[in-house]
Structure 1
Amino acid sequence: MGITVGIVGCGSITRFRHAPEYLTNPHVDEIVFFDRNRHRAESLVKEFGGRIAESFKELIQDPAIDVISDCSSNEVHHIHTTQALMNGKHVLCEKPLAVSTEHAKTILEAQKKSGKKLMVDHNQRFTKVHQKARKIIQSGEYGDVLTFKTTFGHGGPESWSVTKSNATWFFKKERSHSGVAGDLGIHKIDLVHYLINDEIEEVKSFAGALDKVDENNQPIEVCDNVVCVFKTKKGRLGNGSFSWTYYGEEDNSTTIYLQKGIVKIYHDLEDQIIIEQPGGEKAKYELEPIQTNDHQSNTGVIDAFIDWVVHDIDPPVKGEDAYSSLKVVERILEN
């Protein structure tokens, strides 16, 4: 089965992740690019081949296109993804699924009505390390989960975004909406749900724009730091720190505290999982390094999405999972 892919939005996430991963997938024959700024689509066609759609309508109404990657900015996900689904396309949507749960419900309703597949790019579920950690935690060998802590921070999106400046849409309230909470925090919220098979229900948080400024040298309109305390449906307690102001090495670590040990994930560059037991014993696992903005590798997201479309193999994350994480982000921003 030869698949033609349509991509809406030709920024960095398309250039560094979606386009190259589609290109290396054996089931994909062609990529069709659309961006409001046509020169961005032209640039990606030069780099990856394929062709350009002159409008979003042309993209989603093209009968040759089987699937759509929605790589547009946050505020239009509910428009692009909904319309793509209703035009008979399977959709891989970038996170967050939408800027609000109300908009996300519109997407989920469209998915049910259309009968098409909807996956969301919560890529932390796809690392070998997190999949192994989940198996260890779920095995019960170390008892039940009691508490947890998780962190995701780097120096900010302005060096990653296509503009390479602090005029990036990530800093704009009307486009980003949720700042670092919806950019980095939502990844780790989804990961916690996945690792411990539970859902965060209560949130206490502090959020602020502590250091980032926009192109006018004014404090940005969204949060660049968030610190939270969580309680899950099953009564587990945890905390999260999410930041665009870690001006050094990226921190993407998580710790799960169980009755009979501690599982440390991505604390060590070489041993990505370390299990510490009460008697001092340690078990270490060397699997793969974490992907960062500076060190790209195949995420497995595109391959899982295409496997779902072609072979009906369920992926690790679907629209409903993304909705659960978005609910937590909303609670963070309400505090």
Structure 2
Amino acid sequence: MSKLKIGVIGCGSIAKYRHLPEYAANANVEIVAVCDIVPERAETMAAQYRAKAFTDYQEVLKLKEVDAVSVCLPNYLHAPVSIAALNSGKHVLCEKPMATSREEAEAMIQAAKANGKKLMIAHNQRFVASHQKAKEIIESGKLGKIYSFKTTFGHSGPEGWSADGKDSWFFNKEKAFIGAMGDLGVHKADLMRYLLGEFKEVGSFIETNAKSYSEVDDNAVCVLRTESGIIGTLTASWAYTAGSDDNSTVIYGENGILKLEADPEYSLIEQYRTGEVVKHQLSRIQTNEEGGQTTSHVINHFVECILEDKEPLITGEEGKKSLEIILAAIESQETKRIVIL
């Protein structure tokens, strides 16, 4: 079988620590092109992965040999570049949040359909072992009726991770459109949809109160209600200092509770009213600090979906539904009202 030929557009940290090493580790892939507007960045990655370096993404899209691309760019470029790639006959793996509006997300979905190509959004939380196990437990009925949840994704901010530090596009309203909510909150919105089903109502408090150089939100707390009446909170923050990262979720049911990524040793703990406690030591959730020592499973899934012509776990439609929760949270903050999806 000939290898899937990949182009990576954008050579910042997410490409450097996730997409490129994970493509390189996949035996069915050949990285043929890398692109970045900073020539040195593209050239460094090209040398490392024996690919061609480009500074204009249009040049990558003209390459007939490229089967698929990863779009690893600032948020405001996700839709235009993904649509251009789909229209040039490439499959697309786009970083999250997939777009900056419903209209953009819809246009991406339509471009994928029109061209008969895969569009996948890089929401890695669905692939985490504890999250998959939790879904299995919830669906088995062991917890009984689900009442409530709390989910958090917080760390000290992208400056330590982004290629440009404090000057990163992450803090620029025009390029990022949204801050911690788009960077971290959308991950948790996607996870809770995966675990509990669709959401119906969103309320929020969203602040920029931790970073003077940020034009976008760095602290957000949302209250959510699912269509089935489960209520809970979603917190996204770039203000958890002193290495106190939190990527945990707790689900409260009639018969017990599930604690996901909330314990340093056990990535999933089941606690029941009967006194029964089940502790699972599963493969850990990925963190940026590990410099890509763990796999996100996103790349392998994307490659497999193309080679086996399968529907990705996170399609454009799925990405859009998760984005809509975040857009509703922004609307709630602006209008001071609960927003109905």
What secondary structure does 2:120 align onto? strand
Q: Note if 1:155 corresponds to 2:156.
A: yes
How far is 1:54 from its partner? 4.5
CA distance in 2, matches of 1:54, 1:36: 5
CA distance in 2, matches of 1:47, 1:294: 21
How far is 1:311 from its partner? 1.3
Gaps of 5+ in 1: 215-219
CA distance in 2, matches of 1:151, 1:109: 32
- Are the counterparts in 1 of residues 129 and 284 from structure 2 also a CA contact under 8 Å? no
Matching residue's letter, 2:238? W
CA distance in 2, matches of 1:298, 1:97: 21
- Are the counterparts in 1 of residues 34 and 52 from structure 2 also a CA contact under 8 Å? yes
Q: Note if 1:207 corresponds to 2:202.
A: no
How far is 1:55 from its partner? 2.1
| Alignment partner, residue 140 of structure 1 | 141
| Alignment partner, residue 185 of structure 2 | 185
Q: How does 1:243-254 map to 2 (within 5 A)?
A: 243-247=237-241, 248-254=243-249
CA distance in 1, matches of 2:33, 2:130: 33
Q: How does 1:16-27 map to 2 (within 5 A)?
A: 16-27=17-28
Matching residue's letter, 2:182? G
| Alignment partner, residue 313 of structure 2 | 316
CA distance in 2, matches of 1:21, 1:224: 29
What secondary structure does 2:228 align onto? coil
Over residues 143-199 of structure 1, what are the superposed CA-to-partner deviations in whole Å (9 max), with x where a residue is unaligned?
Answer: 122111100000100110001x21111011101111100000000010000112x11
- Are the counterparts in 1 of residues 68 and 91 from structure 2 also a CA contact under 8 Å? yes
- Are the counterparts in 2 of residues 34 and 55 from structure 1 also a CA contact under 8 Å? yes
Q: Note if 1:255 corresponds to 2:250.
A: yes
| Alignment partner, residue 284 of structure 1 | 279
- Are the counterparts in 2 of residues 101 and 327 from structure 1 also a CA contact under 8 Å? yes
**Worse overlay, 46-55 or 304-313:** 46-55
| Alignment partner, residue 62 of structure 1 | 63
- Are the counterparts in 2 of residues 209 and 221 from structure 1 also a CA contact under 8 Å? yes
What secondary structure does 2:166 align onto? coil
**Worse overlay, 115-124 or 142-151:** 142-151
How far is 1:31 from its partner? 3.1
CA distance in 1, matches of 2:306, 2:265: 35
How far is 1:315 from its partner? 3.1
**Worse overlay, 263-272 or 49-58:** 49-58
1:236 to 209, 230, 238: 230
How far is 1:49 from its partner? 2.1
What secondary structure does 1:294 align onto? helix
Q: What TM-score does the superposition give when structure 2 sets the normalisation length?
A: 0.94
Matching residue's letter, 1:260? N
What secondary structure does 2:246 align onto? coil
| Alignment partner, residue 101 of structure 1 | 102
CA distance in 2, matches of 1:168, 1:30: 26
How far is 1:279 from its partner? 2.3
CA distance in 2, matches of 1:55, 1:104: 23
Over residues 276-304 of structure 1, what are the superposed CA-to-partner deviations in whole Å (9 max), with x where a residue is unaligned?
Answer: 11122211111112211101311111000
User: How many percent identity over aligned positions?
Assistant: 42
How far is 1:90 from its partner? 0.4
| Alignment partner, residue 43 of structure 1 | 44
- Are the counterparts in 2 of residues 154 and 246 from structure 1 also a CA contact under 8 Å? yes
CA distance in 2, matches of 1:159, 1:78: 26
Say how many residue pairs are matched. 328
CA distance in 2, matches of 1:57, 1:224: 33
